[in-house]
């Protein structure tokens, strides 16, 4: 729409589009409004969109993902987490707001997760991560505490005010996890679990979507499209490394994906150095590199006693290491023009 287009002109176009049985995505920016038309191309062609008052330009979005595309939504999306909880301090992510999510791989006990929450808060984290349900390669590994783990996370939030991020693995558990969590995480193994993506799209709770181990950038954006197509626009993308032939570390950190995603999509993207490396030694260094690449936040595994962690101990930072990491990244966040409260 033209910068001086009126609300009446916009509403007329939206009404006409919907009367043709087409879907509409409206993005209202500071300077202009973009109206996205979604549906069969032959139907769209029947509407003389250029003839309507207030229209400046009509262009075809050729990318297979529509709602996720910057062409539909030119301005960056800002996701607020924890805003609807009386016991949480709301945190913004995206659009210049930088967020650090930290905590253990899995919730081990009520005392353990509260201790972890206090630890990461002392060091400067903005949200707590922890798995109540854990997807493990081996069926004999620790799988998490399930609903009891969710209750433990909620108790840690009440104790510290940190919003919680936890994984949901089964479409049947989405409603339950949404009741306790502030952000529902879709892990790398479930990035293309389309039934699960549709369910979290209907839940309206913010979603953290991790890139699959062998997924392309387009695969990741199409997975996000599933969530947005169900009505949930609060999606945070996560680059956590992809699987390559390299064996010196756990995964290959694809830092080039971060600016590429930001060029293609309005959704915020964070970086997970813990899963990229698989060991704690260079996590602070890789975190700085992720910030230099343009990420909107970090998700880092932290544990009070990594040597005795129930899962992923080798890649967890202890308190002194995490505190040093936060100190190292602050100047990089500032140089990137972002705000880390």
Which pLDDT tens digit goes with each residue over 40-53? 888 898 899 999 99
Host domain of residue 225: 79-335
User: Same structural domain for residues 39 and 92?
Assistant: no
Segment (H or E) for 151: helix 147-160
Is residue 28 assigned to a domain? yes
User: Same structural domain for residues 217 and 305?
Assistant: yes
Is residue 64 assigned to a domain? no
Q: Which residue has the higher pLDDT, 27 or 214?
A: 214
User: Same structural domain for residues 35 and 159?
Assistant: no
Taking the alpha carbons of 36, 31, 265, 300 in that order, is the dihedral positive or negative?
negative
pLDDT computed for residue 266 by the predictor: 97
User: Same structural domain for residues 137 and 270?
Assistant: yes
Q: For residue 63, with 0-12 CB atoms within 10 Å meaning exposed, 13-18 middle and 19 or more buried, which class applies?
A: middle
| Domains held by the chain: number | 2
User: Same structural domain for residues 185 and 298?
Assistant: yes
pLDDT computed for residue 68 by the predictor: 96
Flag whether pLDDT at 23 surpasses 70.
yes
Is residue 299 assigned to a domain? yes
pLDDT band at 296 (very low <50, low <70, confident <90, very high): very high
List Cβ neighbours of 125 (8 Å cut-off, separation of 6 or more): 100, 101, 102, 103, 162, 300, 302, 322, 326
CATH code (residue 251): 3.20.20.70
Nearest CA among 102, 109, 100, 101 for reference residue 309: 109
User: Same structural domain for residues 21 and 160?
Assistant: no
Is residue 72 assigned to a domain? no
pLDDT band at 290 (very low <50, low <70, confident <90, very high): very high
User: Same structural domain for residues 213 and 268?
Assistant: yes
User: Same structural domain for residues 176 and 33?
Assistant: no
User: Using alpha carbons only, what angle is made at residue 8 by residues 5 and 14, rounded to the nearest 5 degrees?
Assistant: 95
Spatial contact of 287 and 300, defined as CB atoms under 8 Å apart: yes
């Amino acid at each position: 729409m033209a910068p001086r287009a009126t609300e009446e002109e916009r509403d007329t176009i939206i009404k006409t589009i919907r009367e043709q049985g087409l879907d509409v995505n409206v993005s209202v920016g500071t300077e202009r409004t973009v109206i996205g038309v979604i549906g069969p191309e032959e139907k769209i062609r029947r509407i003389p969109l250029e003839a309507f008052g207030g229209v400046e330009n009509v262009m075809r979005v050729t990318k297979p993902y529509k709602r996720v595309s910057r062409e539909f939504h030119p301005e960056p999306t800002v996701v607020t987490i924890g805003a609807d909880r009386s016991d949480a301090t709301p945190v913004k992510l995206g659009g210049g707001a930088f967020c650090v999510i930290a905590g253990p791989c899995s919730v081990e006990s009520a005392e353990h997760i509260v201790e972890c929450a206090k630890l990461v808060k002392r060091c400067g984290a903005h949200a707590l991560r922890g798995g109540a349900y854990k997807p493990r390669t081996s069926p004999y590994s620790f799988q998490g505490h399930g609903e009891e783990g969710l209750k433990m996370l909620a108790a840690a939030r009440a104790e510290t005010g940190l919003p919680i991020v936890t994984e949901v693995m089964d479409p049947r558990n989405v409603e339950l996890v949404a009741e306790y969590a502030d952000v529902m995480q879709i892990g790398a193994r479930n990035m293309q679990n389309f039934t699960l993506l549709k369910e979290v799209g209907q839940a309206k709770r913010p979603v953290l979507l991790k890139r699959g181990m062998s997924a392309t950038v387009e695969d990741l954006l199409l997975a996000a499209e599933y969530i947005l197509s169900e009505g949930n626009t609060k999606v945070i993308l996560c680059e956590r490394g992809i699987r390559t032939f390299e064996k010196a570390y756990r995964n290959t950190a694809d830092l080039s994906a971060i600016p590429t995603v930001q060029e293609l999509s309005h959704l915020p993207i964070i970086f997970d150095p813990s899963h990229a490396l698989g060991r704690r030694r260079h996590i602070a260094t890789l975190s700085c590199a992720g910030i230099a690449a343009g990420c909107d936040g970090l998700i880092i595994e932290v544990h009070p006693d990594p040597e005795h962690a129930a899962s992923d101990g080798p890649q967890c930072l202890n308190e002194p290491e995490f505190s040093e990491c936060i100190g190292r990244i602050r100047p990089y966040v500032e140089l990137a023009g972002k705000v880390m409260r």
